Amino acid sequence: MQCPFCSATDTRVIDSRLAEEGTQVRRRRECAECKGRFTTFERAQLTIPNIIKRGGSPEPFEEEKLRRGFESALYKRPVSPDAVDHAVESVMRKLRQSGEREVPSRQVGEWVMEELRDLDHVAYVRFASIYLSFEDLNAFREEIERLQHLPTAEQRRSQMSLISAGESGATPPAEAAPRKPKSR
């Protein structure tokens, strides 16, 4: 790896650790010439499926677009940038694990809503209001009431699963069935 300080090509790894829940390797490097130290991150480059838009056309997945969606919903909310990074990575992990070549945008929207529900309820309702195309105050009220009756992220994590969702193919009881966005 080339040194970012002096452009020398002789650098060595002085420390390696797993990062981002094991999806990355963090390497601390030192330049043999200028003795400058820097950090690199290594991640497997996996293909992410195309996204099928509501109109039916496929579109390449864009991480930046996903991140902007989270940041718009979380605007001026007390959520750390690390939590946003974790949520974006979680949605991307679900995309990769789907094993599909194409994933409907509504599925990505559901995954974003799951992450936002755990991060911040106000951001969740902001995103849901656009994603689910709320048309009146009652739609907002119904979604807020539904949100209040769902278990919190801490409660869901502490619940012991009797049957893993992967084995049964069923939705765990703590999760609500996905809603269908209203067509425009």
Residue 63 pLDDT: 92
pLDDT value of residue 174? 42
First to last CA, the chain: 51
Task: Indicate the SS3 state at residue 157.
Answer: helix
- What per-residue confidence (pLDDT) applies to 54? 87
- The confidence score (pLDDT) of residue 170 equals 45
Helices 137-149, 121-131: axis angle to 10 degrees equals 140
User: What is residue 168's predicted lDDT score, i.e. its pLDDT?
Assistant: 45
- What's the pLDDT at 169? 45
Contact 55, 104 (CB under 8 A): no
Q: Which residues of the chain have pLDDT under 50?
A: 166-178, 183-184
**Quick one: pLDDT at residue 181?**
52
User: What are the domain boundaries of the chain?
Assistant: 11-43, 50-160
Residue 170: alpha-carbon gap to chain centroid: 22
Hey, which bits of 64-127 come out as E strands? 102-104
CA 88/CA 72 separation, integer angstroms? 13
The predicted structure's pLDDT at residue 126:
85
For 122-134, letters b (16+ CB in 10 Å) and e give: bbbbbbbeebbeb
**pTM to 2 decimal places:** 0.56
- Could you identify the residue written with the tokens 């939590």? 83
